[in-house]
Structure 1
């Protein structure tokens, strides 16, 4: 199995899907990495199976799943039933649980001011996820600052709407970008 960094380098645009229409579109797209930002205890397995059948690397955003708690058992359920490549979460405890279960983990951090930047870096250093997603992704100056301090892959996400946004984020040090804009999934 390829390492996460290699997967990001080969596939720098990540499809972020929010509904069944996005699911259909991403299966027809060139995007190889998919962030699942919707679903529930009843349909998550079928969503992940469809993506895996279409040879996608699947990451489930645990905080957005209905009927599944963001705790050890919830993540264990996701691993057993949906078998994604990894999870995404804003919660440091979920990073710890994912690591214990052998799942790849991406910590999503929101940078709104200098305090959130400092606490985000502290949380990342304490939990050491496999990658972090910095929100909003158009904050390219912040990406370079974070990448220097945490030494793990940085994904830019949020408000990525143009090819220029993608190129700018990648040039500032992001290893990949996640976007719900299906026009960018085929770059």
Structure 2
């Protein structure tokens, strides 16, 4: 992993996850936000969305699964690399993580913790897929997230349903490097 990505996330453990232009503009006004997870857009707008983030000196991570018009094949990662200035990608698909690493993009492998099989997937895939970060959702399970932090060599980001300072402090205490949230109140903690 390029140390600059780790340092950017570690310098402020709150990552702004944006799902619309209003949220994007708001997070770009906040001085402390260093990393932005882009959760919206399409193949016609993603370049401009990324540029808005980059123009403010922040790191732009595109959730490639959520960009309308991009498929689930590796060529989608090539598109992000070639046609945007994104620093990296977020995805639930291990093949896209591998391609992102080949293209020297920062990679975040997102997992939804719905059952013990999902937990086992994290345990097994972290060694074969080797993302730069793992994001686990929902973040409201500090005990389970703490277990993941203990078994993982990959830095963990918790996201989803974190609404207040207590939620954030609980998962940070469990061992995550950062939290991601679309909740604008959390961005200002």
Q: TM-score, normalised by structure 2?
A: 0.95
Residues 9, 34 of structure 2: 8 Å contact kept: no
SS of the aligned residue for 1:41 comes to coil
Matches within 5 A, 1:4-153: 4-29=5-30, 30-153=32-155
- Which ranges of structure 2 fall in alignment gaps of 5 or more residues? none
CA displacement at 1:6 relative to structure 2: 2.2
SS of the aligned residue for 1:66 comes to coil
**Cα distance in 1 for residues equivalent to 2:26 and 2:16:** 10
Distance 1:154 1:100, change over 3 A: same
Moved over 3 A (4+): none
Residues 16, 34 of structure 1: 8 Å contact kept: yes
Mean CA deviation greater in 38-47 or 6-15:
6-15
Q: 1:162: which partner in 2?
A: 164
SS of the aligned residue for 1:5 comes to helix
SS of the aligned residue for 2:69 comes to coil
Residues 156, 177 of structure 2: 8 Å contact kept: yes
**Cα distance in 1 for residues equivalent to 2:113 and 2:127:** 16
Q: TM-score, normalised by structure 1?
A: 0.96
**Cα distance in 2 for residues equivalent to 1:93 and 1:150:** 20
Aligned residues: 187
Residues 62, 87 of structure 1: 8 Å contact kept: yes
CA RMSD of aligned residues (A): 1.2
SS of the aligned residue for 2:60 comes to strand
SS of the aligned residue for 1:49 comes to helix
